[in-house]
Amino acid sequence: MTKIGRSVIFYKYLLSYIFICTFPVVIMGIILYENTVGSLKSEIEKSNLTKLSQVESMMERQMKEFGNIAFLIAEDSKFLSYNLNDGYGRIEAVDELKKYKANSSIIDTLFLYLRHDDLIYSSDGFYSYDSFRKYFYRGSGWNDDQFYDDINRIANPQIKRMSGTDQASPAQRYLVYMYPVQPQSPRPYGTVVFAIQESELSSMMSNILGDFKGESYILDENDQILASVHQGEENGKLKSQMIAMIKEHDKSGIYELSSEHTKYSFSYVKSDTIGWSFVTILPTSQFMSRVIQKRTFTIELISLIAMMGVGIAFAFTHYHYVPIRRLANRLNREAASQAPSVVRNEFRLIESAADVFVSSNRELLREQLLAKLLAGKIGGAAQLQEWMKRSHTEFAGAGFYVLLIDGKTRFVDAAPIAQLLRENGSSAYCTDDPNGNGAAVIAMLDDSPDVAEAEPDLASLLAVWLEEAHGQAVHIGIGGVYSEPLQLNRSYIEASAALEYKMIAGGKAITNFRDIAASHHEEPWYPVEEQIVYLQSLKKGDRAVALHNLRSILDSIASKGASLLMLRYICFDMVNSAVKVVREIHAEHFREEIESLMGFDSLDELYARLERLTEKVCLYVEERKESKNVKLRDSVLDYVHRHFRDGGISLERIADEHDVSVSFLSRFFKEQVGETFTDYLSELRMKEAKLRLLHSEQSVGQIVEEIGYMNASNFVRKFKKTEGVTPGQYRKLYAPGIGSDQEESLE
């Protein structure tokens, strides 16, 4: 018995599962950590870009609203110069400007100036131009002449900052948006001035930076800063670099910017409508601060998951290894006859057992292949190659032929003959005779054989061995040699015909089909060989071979140029031979075809009638074969159902009962029932055991003894493998009121 030592498989499983459970987690954690900076940076930048786009949209709407207000003022008759000549008209104009100012939430003061006039009207009142110049735009950076020229001459909207110092707070700084009245006119008659506190624009941008340190800017179409928001220390050099970046990149997007060894993220949106630019600049180093805060938590989480992975790996290893261990122990007990050794790899034992199983199945496949070849039921070369590959069978050589061993004596069995052929190194296979109790040997010739000597040598070897082994001579028929394995069914039919000529052969143990044909060579005008094969194929029900040889016979007769009298003699002999065969297989089924045979007037008419008879006879033989198979199958199954409780039932016993060989019965049972005899018997016994467990008071031991099992432990093991529970547990689950409450010791 092989001793199973400390398992290498267990440790391989454990290490594999640890690797599977922990490696992806560790790699994922590393990748996650490495990508967190980039993903967080990308999210913040995209968020800033989205916020900048929102500010852009709001400013575009405001500028559009300013244009609408200027258009309404241009169309309002209250602002025409002749209506502003008296105090009442001027008061009405101020009230109307208040109404227009109310339409926009960001306008601080709304002004209207009629060009070259001495007065300026606003939503708060009206002033002389000198008062407006002295108090409103003081410190704006405009000189008198420039401001007067701008307010009287602009043809397109313009925006400028009114405060000349950056130190002033946004609430003290103003943006002045000048809009010519009737801008489409070549000579606008006035200018609308929208005064906006810079803080209004800054408030729009206040939520862009969020908790991050950085700077946000709004620039006009000439890249002049209109408003800005700063969080943290302000870097004065960034402004010039920012303007350079805007000029370098025409399209909105996210770019990298470096200043004083610091990297910045530069988010930029440019409006196609008003030409303004909206910019956010953030130091990228602060993205890492958020990642570092989560690093400790991430490492602890990965470590915890890795430890859990090791635990899960150990559980998986135990769960998957235990069945392998049990199977190896089971196979080890089955292999108790082997020399003691230590095995630390259960797969070696399982592999060895699998090799045995595959080898046995390969033999069954080979038997099926040989049977199909002898019966002519292989569809072609492709199908033959597939069968050969599956069964590991080779057909190599220059020729192939069949030796058929008479099975009327009971001792002829294919298995020991196959063993003999292997021991003698013969290029041959052996299987049961598909149509009898004998054995068929498929032999292969070398590339340059002496056919006349090779056939009798192998047949003599078999005849001598069988006689020495059993003390009784057998008869062996030898078929013709063919170049292809697909033609072996013809050689088989010829070998069957040779067996039927043993009375002519007298005491000879071996009859060669070639010798039968040679004995008629004194009649060269008569196709004896083809006729023998034709008649034998009729008996076997081989339609293809029968029709082929029938055609050959009549073609040969027609080509001899015999006299009319001789032709009629040959034809009537053909008819007579066919009728003899038909009589052997119940002529009453073919009475009409037999009667029509005698009324032929030509060879073609004879062929047509013999062809019709041949097809019907072959079909009848095939159906009778199937009927015999069904009858044998039903008889075997009936015997099994009546005796499956008997512990001594076996294939050998059933084969003796039905007068067939063991190997033939084994193959026949698998083909007809669809499973092996052992599996079928086990299923019957399991069904009986379950019925008794549910409907009787018998103990498990009694049930095991009465259904034919010799080993109770073996039964319990098979029952648990099939049902998942032991017999006692099965009874408790499905019939709790039956039997004892305790598990029996054998379980």
CA distance 487 to 493: 10
Do 528 and 389 have their domain in common? yes
The residue from 202, 218, 237 where one domain ends is 202
Q: Which residues of 623-636 are buried (b: 16+ CB within 10 A; e: fewer)?
A: eeeeeeeeebeeeb
Reduced to 3 states (helix: H, G, I; strand: E, B; else coil), residue 708 is coil
The residue from 618, 633, 668 where one domain ends is 618
Do 611 and 650 have their domain in common? no
Reduced to 3 states (helix: H, G, I; strand: E, B; else coil), residue 253 is strand
Do 536 and 648 have their domain in common? no
Q: How confident is the model at residue 31 (pLDDT cuts 50, 70, 90)?
A: confident
Do 565 and 677 have their domain in common? no
User: What is the domain range of residue 704?
Assistant: 644-734
**Bridge partners, residue 230, by sequence:** 215
Q: How confident is the model at residue 742 (pLDDT cuts 50, 70, 90)?
A: very low
Q: What is the CATH number of the domain that holds 184?
A: 3.30.450.20
Which amino acid belongs to residue 314? Answer: F
Residue 135 lies in a domain: yes
- Alpha helices by DSSP H, 376-450: 381-391, 414-423
Do 380 and 416 have their domain in common? yes
Q: What is the CATH number of the domain that holds 709?
A: 1.10.10.60
Residue 292 lies in a domain: no
Query: Residue 452 pLDDT > 60, yes or no?
Result: no
- Angle value at C-alpha 402, between 552 and 585, nearest 5 degrees: 60
Number of domains forming the structure of the chain: 3
pLDDT at 274: 86
**388-402, 467-481, 525-539, 544-558: range with highest mean pLDDT:** 388-402
Which tens digit of pLDDT belongs to each residue from 690-699?
888 888 888 8
**Bridge partners, residue 258, by sequence:** 263
Which tens digit of pLDDT belongs to each residue from 553-597?
777 777 766 655 566 667 777 777 777 777 777 656 677 777 677
Neighbouring CB atoms inside 10 A of 747's CB total 17
Where is pLDDT greater, at 65 or 39?
Answer: 65
Q: For residue 55, give every residue at least 6 positions away whose Cβ sits within 8 Å of its Cβ, in sequence order, or none.
A: 204, 205, 208, 218, 278
Q: For residue 123, give every residue at least 6 positions away whose Cβ sits within 8 Å of its Cβ, in sequence order, or none.
A: 94, 97, 98, 100, 101, 107, 109, 110, 111
Residue 574 lies in a domain: yes
pLDDT at 339: 40
pLDDT at 358: 62
Q: What is the CA radius of gyration of the chain?
A: 54
CA distance 154 to 132: 19
Residue 11 lies in a domain: no
Least confident of 485-499, 500-514, 567-581, 715-729: 500-514
Segment holding 498, helix H or strand E: helix 488-500
Do 663 and 577 have their domain in common? no
Residue 148 lies in a domain: yes
The mean per-residue pLDDT over the stretch 538-544 comes to 79
Query: Residue 49 pLDDT > 60, yes or no?
Result: yes
Do 419 and 491 have their domain in common? yes
Alpha carbon 54 to chain centroid, angstroms: 48
Residue 276 lies in a domain: no
The mean per-residue pLDDT over the stretch 681-685 comes to 88
Residue 689 lies in a domain: yes
pLDDT at 1: 44
pLDDT at 170: 53
Reduced to 3 states (helix: H, G, I; strand: E, B; else coil), residue 555 is helix
Q: If you write DSSP's letter for every residue of 98-118 in order, what string do you get? A: HHHHTT-SS-SEEEEEETT-S
Do 108 and 180 have their domain in common? yes
Do 95 and 153 have their domain in common? yes
Query: Residue 662 pLDDT > 60, yes or no?
Result: yes
CA distance 105 to 55: 15
Query: Residue 520 pLDDT > 70, yes or no?
Result: no
Which two tokens mark 358? Answer: 């595959």
CA distance 10 to 325: 9
- The phi, psi pair for 84, rounded to 5°, reads -110, 20
Residues of the chain with pLDDT > 90, as a percent, come to 0
Is the full-model pTM beyond 0.75? no
Which tens digit of pLDDT belongs to each residue from 74-112?
888 788 776 777 778 888 888 888 888 888 888 888 888
Do 587 and 675 have their domain in common? no
Do 448 and 487 have their domain in common? yes
Least confident of 33-47, 112-126, 307-321: 33-47
Query: Residue 402 pLDDT > 80, yes or no?
Result: yes
The answer to whether 176 and 162 are in contact (CB under 8 A) is yes
Query: Residue 66 pLDDT > 60, yes or no?
Result: yes
CA distance 540 to 494: 11
The residue from 168, 202, 236 where one domain ends is 202
The mean per-residue pLDDT over the stretch 206-220 comes to 83
Alpha carbon 704 to chain centroid, angstroms: 45
Question: What rounded mean pLDDT belongs to the chain?
Answer: 77
CA distance 55 to 279: 10
Query: In which residue are the tokens 């029900």 written?
Result: 541
Do 664 and 606 have their domain in common? no
Q: Which of 488, 545, 498, 493 is nearest to 518 (CA)?
A: 498
Residue 296 lies in a domain: no
The answer to whether 229 and 279 are in contact (CB under 8 A) is no
